[in-house]
Amino acid sequence: MASLLAASRPVAAAAVATVGPAVGGGGGPRGMAAGRRRGKGSRGAAAVAGGGGRGGGDGDGEGDGGLDDLFENNRHWAAAMRDGDADYFRKLSTLQRPKYLWIGCSDSRVPANVIVDLPPGAVFVHRNIANVVTHTDLNCLSVIEFAVTILRVRHILVVGHDACSGVTAALHPPGHGALLDAWLRHVRDVRVRAAAELAALPDDTARVDRLVELNVAAGVANVAATGAVQAAWARGDDLTVHGWVYKLGDGLLRDLGVSVAGVKGVGEAYRMGQPEDDGRAKGG
């Protein structure tokens, strides 16, 4: 886990310097892919910086190349990967053996592999609005079951981020559409349990940041209570559930210190998600 947290640090530093290298990292296949993209008009750098590349600043996929840019970017990326390893795609197509399941937010600024500087095949990913984990979401539960029972991942990472639009919406009365309001009910439940603590904070920014943390802690507890994870621990699998928060302002991950590594830790995970406990980030 320390290596993943550390990986976000050089990526963030590179992003400040030139943006482009943050996509690929050092001199391996990922770095080569980023270099080739930069040589073709810095499309990758523009995309990471939020400019949308040559597809237009509004991100609608139309005008100034539109979707053709995506296919062109893909061709350059695939060629760069083959330049680094002629057998790269053959090997990738025969097996996936990730150690990590990432349960994160759908926010386009929080791409799992990029943040931890890992290549395709290294991270199994599930994303939804506000990184919610609930026992009624068959999509998320099936991903957890597949990751734990078939892929045998060793770490499940529940990852929130600051300035989360979903969490922000959950702080306010419903009114965002029936489906979205129903989905955010799970975050609102966390908000209600922490109402006194959140009300004592100085402003909405602080309240959003704290609710992000509490929502992650609740997600860790819910993951730990799933049948698939409980069964994995019962058979002695080495599996840990972690809670992290990603900071958009500096590109770094923070460990909230709410990890659970066995059946006995589930109750503690629920307690750590309660407002009277300080589950704030450590490190970073």
Mean pLDDT of the chain: 82
* pTM for this predicted structure: 0.77
Choose among 116, 124, 111: nearest CA to 47.
111
Catalytic residue among 109, 127, 154, 271: 109
Q: Is 235 a catalytic residue?
A: no
Segment 49-70 shows an average pLDDT of 55
Q: Is 109 a catalytic residue?
A: yes
Task: Using CB atoms within 10 Å of the CB of residue 53, give its burial: 0 to 12 exposed, 13 to 18 middle, 19+ buried.
Answer: buried
Which residues does 273 contact at the CB level (< 8 Å), separation at least 6? 190, 214, 217, 218, 220, 221, 258, 279
CA dist 65 and 178 (Å) reads 35
In this predicted structure, the answer to whether residue 198 has a pLDDT above a threshold of 70 is yes
Catalytic residue among 30, 37, 54, 164: 164
The residue among 27 and 137 whose pLDDT is bigger is 137
Distances 17 to 4, 20, 38, 208, 248 between C-alpha atoms, Å: 21, 9, 14, 29, 16
Choose among 128, 120, 124, 98: nearest CA to 222.
128
For residue 219, the model assigns a pLDDT of: 97
CA dist 147 and 158 (Å) reads 14
Choose among 33, 67, 34: nearest CA to 52.
67
Q: Is 164 a catalytic residue?
A: yes
Map out the domains of the chain with their CATH numbers: 1-95 (no CATH), 96-284 (3.40.1050.10)
| 161 annotated among ligand-binding-site residues | yes
Buried b (16+ CB within 10 A) or exposed e, 157-182: bbbbbbebebbbbbeeeeeeeeebee
For residue 105, the model assigns a pLDDT of: 98
The answer to whether the CB of 130 falls within 8 A of the CB of 166 is yes
Structure tokens at 126: 């599930």
In this predicted structure, the answer to whether residue 104 has a pLDDT above a threshold of 50 is yes
Q: Is 90 a catalytic residue?
A: no
- Model pLDDT for residues 68-82, shown as the tens digit of each residue: 999 999 999 999 999
- Model pLDDT for residues 211-266, shown as the tens digit of each residue: 999 999 999 999 999 999 999 999 999 999 999 999 999 999 999 999 999 988 77
Catalytic residue among 69, 107, 209, 255: 107
Task: State whether the Cα torsion 38-43-44-45 is positive or negative.
Answer: positive
